[in-house]
Amino acid sequence: MIDVKHSTMTIIELIWLQSPRKHLQQDAPMNFQHSSAQKNIPVILGGFHPTLLPEEALQHADAIVTGDAESVWQNLLNDAEAGMLKRRYDAAPSQPQQIILPRRDLFSGKGYLPISLMQFSRGCMNECTFCAISSFFNQTHRTRLISEMVREIKSQNLKMIFFVDDNITMNKEAAKELFRALIPLKIQWVSQASIDIACDTELMDLMAASGCLGNVIGFESINPQTIREMNKTPNRVSEGYETEISTLKRYGLQVWAAFTLGHDTDSKESLYDLYEFALRHKFTFAAYNVLMPYPGTPFYEKLKQEHRLLYDGTWWNHPEYHFNHAAFKPAQMSSNELTDIAFDIRKKWSSPSTVIKRSLDLKTNMKTLQKMMIFWKYNLLFRRETFKKQDMKFGYGDIGSGSS
Ligand code: SF4
């Protein structure tokens, strides 16, 4: 997802480039900077891209913010008002979103999905080699106060919440404390978690009791060697995921399984095995992501050393790069083959016959009328997205509309 938020506060224009896990939209800051420069308004860039590539970001802005902005924001505003903006504001890690509640009234009547986005924690302490989250947060994980979470939930009308945490169960004791506090609020929620949640019965009980409908879970691969090489420690794939998956089903949780394609151990055949695995378990949704070499990650550095990066090592800025294309030379196939196989698997996964087959899971996708509706509504939406986004060029869309 790319989130480009504009703040026209008369003294500055702000662009927040969030989520390099998906893509960076190359022309957004440049176009915005150009129009703002014409109006003589300073441009500030913040978020993942400026944090991971500060020197590059500085070429397109009057100032940048690296890290979480909260702790430097007031200073930045004071400097801007005094006409003494610094070039760079490096924010120290701090507890997220203290006291601040978002202005949700601004979304009213603007056609957003009836889901509230909130955040309990930021970052992740795991060190998966391909993960930009891990690099951005320097393997740290920080949580908000539970009382602030309760206050924010009570302040809004929507009772369906997406906690947009990178890994909501990274600190399991903190997550349990949150889930206990959610129970009396009678909300329903989804989030992102790692597969090891299934090994903690108390956590699973609290998760279900607090209204969890399901989670995005990063399976990444079904090959133990691949998991070892990417250093994804929560995934105990040597035992086959079978126990964990049956636990998730026993609690009726719908799973959005996320996979990464193109590891050195991946062959053409093993990628299709991955697809068969997901189909066999009738996951509600699945993401088949071509591995992206994000700058600042160990994966990027390894490919650079091995001279395997394509697009001059800057795919996010390259005029020839297209969305969902491999940006490196895989070990066991060509980059075009990897791109084509990933797209082929996405098409198979969202074909009408496959969607019908996956829907027939009494423990999850057919468990309640609500879960059936979630399954059908979003599978049809994701099918459209599969075709719409493939091969898209960066920088030619509507910069105001984030997408995932
Ligand atoms: S567990 Fe997920 S969020 Fe954490 S480092 Fe690994 S891929 Fe990133």
Amino acid at 402: G
Q: Which atom of ligand 1 is nearest to the CA of 167?
A: 3
Delimiting residues of CATH 3.40.50.280 domain(s) in the chain:
7-90
Segment holding 255, helix H or strand E: strand 254-261
CB count within 10 Å of CB 21 equals: 17
Query: pTM for the complete prediction?
Result: 0.88
What pLDDT does 143 receive?
97
What pLDDT does 94 receive?
87
In the CATH scheme, what architecture does the domain 7-90 have?
A: 3-Layer(aba) Sandwich (3.40)
Does the C-beta of 128 come closer than 6 Å to ligand 1? yes
**Residue tagged 């829907």 (tokens):** 359
Q: Are strands 88-90 and 160-163 parallel, antiparallel or unpaired?
A: unpaired
Segment holding 159, helix H or strand E: none
CA dist 329 and 334 (Å) reads 6
What pLDDT does 251 receive?
97
Q: 204-224: per-residue pLDDT in tens?
A: 999 999 999 999 999 999 999
Q: Are strands 254-261 and 63-66 parallel, antiparallel or unpaired?
A: unpaired
Q: Which residues contact 389 (CB under 8 A, 6 or more apart)?
A: 323, 324, 403
What pLDDT does 240 receive?
80
User: What separation in Å is there between the alpha carbon of 41 and the centre of ligand 1?
Assistant: 38
CATH topology of domain 104-389: pyruvate-formate lyase- activating enzyme (3.80.30)
Mutation to probe ligand 1, out of 21, 52, 119, 124 (largest number of atoms < 8 A from CB): 124
pLDDT along the chain (404 residues), means of 10: 39 52 45 61 92 94 93 94 95 87 88 92 96 92 96 94 96 98 98 96 98 97 96 85 95 98 98 98 98 96 98 94 97 98 98 97 96 96 93 65 32
Delimiting residues of CATH 3.80.30.20 domain(s) in the chain:
104-389
Q: What is the CA radius of gyration of the chain?
A: 21
User: What separation in Å is there between the alpha carbon of 287 and the centre of ligand 1?
Assistant: 15
User: What separation in Å is there between the alpha carbon of 195 and the centre of ligand 1?
Assistant: 11
